[in-house]
Amino acid sequence: MERGIMKFLEFARICEQLEGIGGRLEMTGKISAILPSLDEGDLPIFVRFLTGRIFPDWSPNKIGIGPNLLFDALTQVVDATRSDIIGEINRKGDVGLAVQAILENKRAGKRSGRSSTFQTSLFSQELDLSSVYSDLERISRLEGRSSQVEKLSLVQNLFQNASPLEAKYLARLILEDLRIGVGEGTMRDAIAQAFSVDPSLVEHAYQAINDLGEVALRARKGRDSLADIHIRLFHPVKMMLAQQGSISQAIAENGAMAAEYKYDGSRFQFHKQGNRCRMYSRKLEDVTEALPEVVETLKNATSHDVILDGEVIAIKDGRPLPFQTVLRRFRRKYDIAAMQKEIRMQPFVFDILYLDGKTLIDDPLRERRKYLEEAMSGCVAPQTVSSDISVIEAVYRESLDAGHEGLMLKVLSSSYTPGIRGKNWLKIKPGVDSIDLAVIGAEWGEGKRAHLFGSFLLACQDRGELLPVGKVATGFTDEELQEVYELLKDRVISESGKEVHLEPFLVFEVGYSEIQKSPNYESGFALRFPRFIRVRDDKGISDIETLDSIRERFQRQSVQGKPGGE
Ligand code: AMP
């Protein structure tokens, strides 16, 4: 990559200015004015950084630095204790602000001669955007036992060379939570404005390439470069998502639709080129090694180069098992060999995005289905096409009788829209009153559960911000509480009294009886009788419920006059 010219300090100043802007239009204008001035190397990094990402969305690269490692690195740099740092975070309510304040204090101390350990500017190297990116990339490539020590020293080095303002945004960037309110939509519009191209073209390119950084580079080259989009093997795209719906309304609106079972398993995207195969999870992590038998089954089901979308389920004694149970048991390292014999993993493929060099996402579903059936000799999810409500209802009943989760109804003329939750895919399940929310805080338990978290603060998302909607403390078995604790214990950002503040990372599916308006939570809503259903470790923070859809659920339930809606 060419060496860029933007200083990291300039980037931090831009972040600071954007953080102070309330309106999206003004923000878009400001960003679009900067983009054309960046060179080839800096443009994609700037675009990713500003939207709180370090790597392209398709990349399975992970920075792998949680709050713990970050705090350890900082204790060395500023000669403070962990509790000094955590105390400051509690006071400021934000990691970035706390880091900035600590560095400022140290500088002041240094100037007045009170501290001798703080790195002086004499030894500092000025950080630039591309060197910060290269260091973060190096960190992400470190693996193995000694990696923590090396990571620590690279992070320390970065902070040693950072001014307080740079450190504020560096800390937030490392935790991949920049908190300046620049979402994908804002960046898409800014790119369109900066290079005078149609926002829908930018959106389409982003869906296929899955990296706003590269999209910006193409937009700069011009309309043709942006329109000439092909999905690439081993660059997974986001999964198309479903909305809740009802059979009668869907058929009334669309006529004949494609009906498939809704399998309760784990979503996958399978890429195959010749003998090379990789499988990605819903969060686009590479899970090839975790499910080798599934990869083998899919590989043997086609001789073509393909990208497939599907759901893998676990089957025991002919019935589907909740996939969560299986993953949990694998994690616990029970008798895996015996488990593999007892539990069969079965992939169901329901879509094809790429076939032998051809990108298919813009073809209608009915065409993609033909390609899929031709390319595969097995593993294809059965599909019924009908405009007859009773036929569709029969498929729904059949699905539930066989132990599956419900029904998917798909619009036959629809293209495949990565990452979009729209009306083209509808999910129909009994008792849909469950919701996916981010865990952003917890309280220590009581009595025999005092060493574990007992209650969890949950949040929905609203244009990049996480807003609390309630707490959940029931529905957990002892085993589940232990498991959740293990998943969260390294994500604690700060603690005060019984409460801990957590890095947003884990998603819970929670059942409820009703959504109520409430002044107690920032979202303005609260869940009535929330109960834990399961950890959704197949979902990331960007997949959680939005405030808009909570509002819709609330309105639907008021219209229907019964709790829970539907
Ligand atoms: P939900 O996770 O409740 O939002 O439901 C949507 C999910 O259902 C998808 O992300 C898939 O993981 C899963 N699913 C199961 N069967 C199908 C199917 N036939 N078509 C599409 N998605 C399916």
Closest by CA to 361, choosing from 312, 308, 305, is 308
pLDDT attached to residue 110: 64
The minimum-distance atom of ligand 1 relative to the CA of 536 is: 2
Mean pLDDT of 282-289: 89
| pLDDT tens digits, 411-426 | 999 999 999 989 999 9
Pocket test for ligand 1, best of 240, 263, 266, 432 (most atoms within 8 A of CB): 263
Nearest CA owner, ligand 1 atom 8: 262
**Block residue for tokens 């309110």:** 181
Residues with a CB atom less than 6 Å from ligand 1: 239, 241-242, 260, 262-263, 267, 311, 350, 381, 408, 427
pLDDT at 328 over 60: yes
Nearest CA owner, ligand 1 atom 22: 262
Cα-to-centroid distance, 103 and ligand 1 (Å):
47
Residue 132 in tokens: 């910060």
| Cα–Cα dist 19/531, whole Å | 36
| Cα–Cα dist 183/187, whole Å | 6
pLDDT attached to residue 124: 65
What residues have CB less than 8 Å from 34, skipping those under 6 apart?
14, 46
* Higher-scoring residue by pLDDT: 147, 521: 521
| Cα–Cα dist 209/356, whole Å | 18
Nearest CA owner, ligand 1 atom 5: 242
Tell me 115's DSSP state: -
CB atoms within 10 A of CB 284: 19
Residue 329 in tokens: 């048991």
The minimum-distance atom of ligand 1 relative to the CA of 429 is: 3
pLDDT at 54 over 90: yes
Please compute, for residue 493, the number of CA atoms within 13 A of its CA located in the half-sphere on the CB side: 24
Cα-to-centroid distance, 263 and ligand 1 (Å):
7
| Cα–Cα dist 132/121, whole Å | 18
| pLDDT tens digits, 192-223 | 999 999 999 999 999 999 999 999 999 999 99
Nearest CA owner, ligand 1 atom 12: 267
Cα-to-centroid distance, 408 and ligand 1 (Å):
7
Closest by CA to 458, choosing from 486, 436, 487, 483, is 436
| Cα–Cα dist 406/51, whole Å | 36
Q: Cα–Cα distances in Å, from 304 out to 235, 289, 291?
A: 18, 22, 21
Residue 432 · residue 565 · CB < 8 Å: yes
pLDDT attached to residue 321: 85
Residues annotated as catalytic (active site), given as ranges: 262
Residue 162 · residue 12 · CB < 8 Å: no
pLDDT at 390 over 50: yes
Please compute, for residue 228, the number of CA atoms within 13 A of its CA located in the half-sphere on the CB side: 6
| Cα–Cα dist 49/135, whole Å | 14
Going by pLDDT thresholds of 50, 70 and 90, the confidence category of residue 435 is very high
Pocket test for ligand 1, best of 267, 351, 508 (most atoms within 8 A of CB): 267
Nearest CA owner, ligand 1 atom 1: 242
Going by pLDDT thresholds of 50, 70 and 90, the confidence category of residue 561 is very low
Mean pLDDT of 23-30: 94
Backbone φ, ψ for residue 203 (5° rounding): -60, -45
| pLDDT tens digits, 331-369 | 555 565 666 677 888 999 999 999 999 999 999 999 999
Pocket test for ligand 1, best of 408, 411, 535 (most atoms within 8 A of CB): 408
Cα-to-centroid distance, 310 and ligand 1 (Å):
8
The minimum-distance atom of ligand 1 relative to the CA of 239 is: 10
| Cα–Cα dist 395/493, whole Å | 48
Helix (H, G, I), strand (E, B) or coil at 308: strand
Mean pLDDT (the chain, rounded)? 89
- Would you state the torsion angle of the CA atoms of residues 303, 305, 311, 312, taken in this order, to the nearest 10 degrees? 50
The minimum-distance atom of ligand 1 relative to the CA of 421 is: 4
Cα-to-centroid distance, 430 and ligand 1 (Å):
14
Helix (H, G, I), strand (E, B) or coil at 307: strand
Nearest CA owner, ligand 1 atom 11: 267
| Cα–Cα dist 513/565, whole Å | 9
| Cα–Cα dist 69/490, whole Å | 9
Cα-to-centroid distance, 245 and ligand 1 (Å):
13
Handedness of CA 529, 535, 538, 541 (dihedral sign): positive
Tell me 80's DSSP state: -
**Block residue for tokens 């900082």:** 74
Helices first, then strands: H and E counts in the chain: 21, 20
Residue 349 · residue 298 · CB < 8 Å: yes
Mean pLDDT of 243-249: 90
Residue 536 · residue 475 · CB < 8 Å: no
Helix (H, G, I), strand (E, B) or coil at 316: strand
Going by pLDDT thresholds of 50, 70 and 90, the confidence category of residue 463 is confident
| Cα–Cα dist 336/338, whole Å | 5
Residue 329 · residue 290 · CB < 8 Å: no
Mean pLDDT of 31-51: 97
pLDDT at 176 over 70: yes
**Block residue for tokens 């999206």:** 24
Nearest CA owner, ligand 1 atom 17: 262
CB burial readout 91-128, b (16+ within 10 A) else e: ebebbbbbbbbbbebbbebbeeeeeeebbeeeeeeebb
Cα-to-centroid distance, 16 and ligand 1 (Å):
40
Cα-to-centroid distance, 262 and ligand 1 (Å):
6
Mean pLDDT of 484-502: 90
Pocket test for ligand 1, best of 282, 427, 533, 542 (most atoms within 8 A of CB): 427
| Cα–Cα dist 335/333, whole Å | 6
**Block residue for tokens 């869906």:** 207
Cα-to-centroid distance, 242 and ligand 1 (Å):
7
**Block residue for tokens 């304040």:** 101
